[in-house]
Structure 1
Amino acid sequence: MSVVDSVLARIPQRYRELAIRHRELLKFGIVGGITFLIDTGIFYALKLTVLSHKPVTSKIIAVLVATLVSYVLNREWSFRTRGGRQRHSEATLYFVISGIGVGLYSAPLWVSRYLLHLQTPYTSRFVEEIADFTAAQIVGLLLGMAFRWWAFRKWVFPTDRADEGAPERDHARVS
């Protein structure tokens, strides 16, 4: 029994059908959770050490690393049965869209810091940290994630490979 089968077996029947119907979104969300941890860890590691005076740069670096991990996980797991494109075209589109996503992830932090001045000396260090987390890790994440979900499905992994007649990736594996 695969890991997916064993997890599905533990979900109550009415939720199991919902999980199966929305499995791509659930997988995308799980990948997002993993990359959120990567992004947050790198962001704070940089922001609190070597890039303490450059929080937006810290955020951009963190998102770029998380994006690399995200590409591999989304391509090989979340959207495994979609795409139908040459790998280099797919990767180019993925990273262009992710580049736009980096702007969406970083923009709320930039607004918080440089337009609203939610940073020391204008506010306390505690307020600065709460504002940074809210702007970068919540608002930015939600904006970027919503955009990327829509754009990946529309342009990077647009259709089911079986519908296009393209060679299928391993459909024998359980989605």
Structure 2
Amino acid sequence: MASSSFAALAALAMSCLLILLPCSVSGWSHGGATWYVPPEGAGTDGGACGVPCNWHGLDIVFKVDACSNPNYLAVLIEYEAGDGDLSAVELQQRDIGWASMQELSGAVWKYSSRSTLQAPISIRLTSGSGKQLIASNVIPSGWQAGRTYRSIVNYY
């Protein structure tokens, strides 16, 4: 009984010792994060600092999330210039009408389908002030998770 208690105490002490090691010894580094929306999760006036972004000269890109699959598409929308956050994002599959995407987190929008998505896929963005633009066929046939697709549009 005493030896099993000692073994349990030794295991506990070893786990605590590992937790207390400095980063330089353990190989771990300090974590960091960037949060682009206020703590309450509401939208901002745009950009990381709450000011409208000016990406003049850059076209909007859509980074397809690594977890996307033939029935699920999540995209990170980057370099969207304009008057603030997007109020709506929709996609249009080949030969199908527009469907609303859901904001997953920050600039990531997702769409789940019960059937295989039909590419090419167009994406319609609506800004906070109601301005719309369409990235036609921006997600091509044969699209792949983890890839980035560049549009030829932006709010200028």
Give the TM bin, normalised by the shorter chain.
under 0.3
Give the number of the structure with larger relative contact order, counting CA–CA contacts within 8 Å between residues 6 or more apart. 1
TM-score normalised by structure 2 residue count: 0.24
- Max radius of gyration: which structure? 2
